[in-house]
Copies of this chain bind each other. A is one copy, B any other.
Amino acid sequence: MRYLSINGNRLWDTLEVSGRIGKFRETGLQRLALSDEDKAMRDQFVKWCEDAGCSIDIDELGNIFARREGTDSNALPVAIGSHLDTQMCGGKYDGILGVLCGLEVIRVLNDNNIQTKRPIEACVWTNEEGSRFTPPMSASYAYAGLLDVDYVKNSRDLQGKKFGEELARIGYQGTTTVGAHKFDSYFELHIEQGPILDDANEDIAIVVGGYKSYGMRIEFRGETAHVGPTAMSKRKNPLVAACILGEKINEIGWEVAADDGKSTVSCVENWPNLNGTIPEVTQLIIDFRHPNAEIVEVMKTKVEAAIDDAARKSNVEAKVIEIWSFVPNFDVDIIQHLHDTAKAISLKVSEIHSQAGHDAYGISYVAPSGMIFTPCIDGITHNVNERINLDHTIPGANLLLNAVVAYADR
């Protein structure tokens, strides 16, 4: 078999163009799902794919599939995907690297006039970050039948804008039924978003599993009153409940920190949120995860007790109004194929468990799936200082390229 190499400079230039669409501060990106910036990046991606000879299919949740045809017109495609949306204060590589490596694979095949047996597709999943619309990875989970399509379309951002309306507004509501665009198999390359590879000075990790994670949106409901004359005993302050819960969530994370468990309060919404008035309603978004799925369930029990305790201490009502959970189901054959390919082209790889959620998590339940991690410097991510080193990224991209081509030709 002939082994191929990606064009590192072309990949880098492509990343640089992306890094100017939604630029935030000197070095970051703010390209929230279904924003004008997201639209501009999608337009750029579609143009690049069409220039590379691909046909474009878009489903009802805005997931994009750019196809390079194979010799077998009945075969399902081998897909490479990730996301182009970012956090509000995000970096230039999280998700984007995986999508643009998919494009680079197609360009390398064009350069070499290679036609694979199965088609190859570069895919974009909508709203992976979940930073504008919860839950995260909502469009890939809906593709996998794990979330209801209407539920996703009706999710709202902080300004009350609906996912479905914003999707239509930017012109990316396609007609293909969500989930109907089937895959033979699915590969995703992503920056590690942690320090393990960078600390070990290694370039590639094959993802063999993922930390089980939970996300929850909790609502506390109290009663407005004047902060002055209202006695402590007569108060129903939901923000106090949120504070008590937030502190406890942080403690629950520290209890399992030695085993690399963690828990987070990231988001609070408080109404009317004004000086002088005890608020009426406060929402908190929390997240907790652990390498051991059984321990995550123990954490969940503790979190539920902490919610009740915070409500009781503050004399308010509590309700979990949204809950999501994710854990991947990566395919053993694909994991083996990635190892075999790495060995054949003399690339050193390690194995890793993913701590962050990825679109491949959902896809892994409907198509054989695998993931490759490449390093990010100091593990910094979801931050404008997220950086990668091209020399340490090329090996992982070459593994993706050769593994996908071989899998498409099997």
Identify which of residues 60-96 in chain A touch chain B, using a CB-to-CB cut-off of 8 Å.
Answer: 87-90
Contact indicator B257/A278 (Cβ below 8 Å): no
What residue of chain B has the Cβ atom nearest to residue A380's Cβ?
B225
A279 CA to B264 CA in the complex, in Å?
A: 10
Identify which of residues 158-198 in chain A touch chain B, using a CB-to-CB cut-off of 8 Å.
Answer: 158, 192-195
A314 nearest CB across to chain B (Å): 8
CB 8 Å contact bits of A229-272 with B (1 = contact, 0 = none): 11111000101101111110010011001001010111111101
Contact indicator B268/A227 (Cβ below 8 Å): no
Contact indicator B89/A280 (Cβ below 8 Å): yes
Q: Which residue of B266, B273, B381 contacts A274 across the interface (Cβ within 8 Å)?
A: B266
Binds B, one of A105-113, A125-133, A389-397: A125-133
Contact indicator B193/A272 (Cβ below 8 Å): no
With a CB–CB cut-off of 8 A, which chain B residues contact A260?
A: 231
With a CB–CB cut-off of 8 A, which chain B residues contact A90?
A: 277
With a CB–CB cut-off of 8 A, which chain B residues contact A276?
A: 87, 129-131, 136, 266, 287, 382
Contact indicator A273/B136 (Cβ below 8 Å): no
Judge whether A19 is part of the interface by a CB distance below 8 angstroms.
no
Judge whether A134 is part of the interface by a CB distance below 8 angstroms.
yes
With a CB–CB cut-off of 8 A, which chain B residues contact A193?
A: 226, 228-229
With a CB–CB cut-off of 8 A, which chain B residues contact A132?
A: 274
A46 nearest CB across to chain B (Å): 26
With a CB–CB cut-off of 8 A, which chain B residues contact A87?
A: 224, 272, 274, 276-277
Contact indicator B266/A232 (Cβ below 8 Å): no
With a CB–CB cut-off of 8 A, which chain B residues contact A257?
A: 231-233
With a CB–CB cut-off of 8 A, which chain B residues contact A285?
A: 275
Contact indicator B275/A136 (Cβ below 8 Å): yes
A205 nearest CB across to chain B (Å): 12
A250 CA to B194 CA in the complex, in Å?
A: 37
A150 CA to B221 CA in the complex, in Å?
A: 38
Contact indicator A247/B247 (Cβ below 8 Å): yes
Contact indicator B262/A231 (Cβ below 8 Å): yes
Contact indicator B230/A240 (Cβ below 8 Å): no
With a CB–CB cut-off of 8 A, which chain B residues contact A230?
A: 194, 262, 379
Contact indicator B275/A89 (Cβ below 8 Å): no
Asked if A356 meets B228 with Cβ closer than 8 Å, knowing A88-B277, A237-B265, A276-B287, the reply is: yes
With a CB–CB cut-off of 8 A, which chain B residues contact A88?
A: 272, 274, 277
With a CB–CB cut-off of 8 A, which chain B residues contact A278?
A: 264, 266, 382
Q: Which of A211, A246, A269 has the most CB of B within 10 A?
A: A246
Judge whether A98 is part of the interface by a CB distance below 8 angstroms.
no
Judge whether A209 is part of the interface by a CB distance below 8 angstroms.
no
Contact indicator B239/A247 (Cβ below 8 Å): no
Contact indicator A254/B232 (Cβ below 8 Å): yes
A356 CA to B134 CA in the complex, in Å?
A: 40
Identify which of residues 131-171 in chain A touch chain B, using a CB-to-CB cut-off of 8 Å.
Answer: 131-132, 134-136, 158
With a CB–CB cut-off of 8 A, which chain B residues contact A287?
A: 227-228, 275-276
Taking beta carbons and an 8 Å cutoff, which residues of A are in contact with B?
87-90, 129-132, 134-136, 158, 192-195, 211, 213, 215, 223-233, 237, 239-240, 242-247, 250, 253-254, 257, 260, 262, 264-270, 272-280, 285, 287, 289, 314, 355-357, 379-384
The 10 A-B pairs with the shortest beta carbon distances in the complex, nearest first, are A243-B246, A194-B229, A228-B356, A88-B272, A131-B274, A232-B257, A229-B355, A226-B382, A227-B264, A243-B243
Q: A225-B380, A225-B381 are in contact. List 19 more A-B contacts (CB 8 A).
A: A88-B277, A129-B276, A130-B275, A130-B276, A131-B274, A131-B277, A195-B229, A215-B275, A227-B262, A227-B382, A231-B257, A231-B262, A240-B246, A243-B244, A243-B250, A243-B265, A244-B250, A267-B270, A267-B279
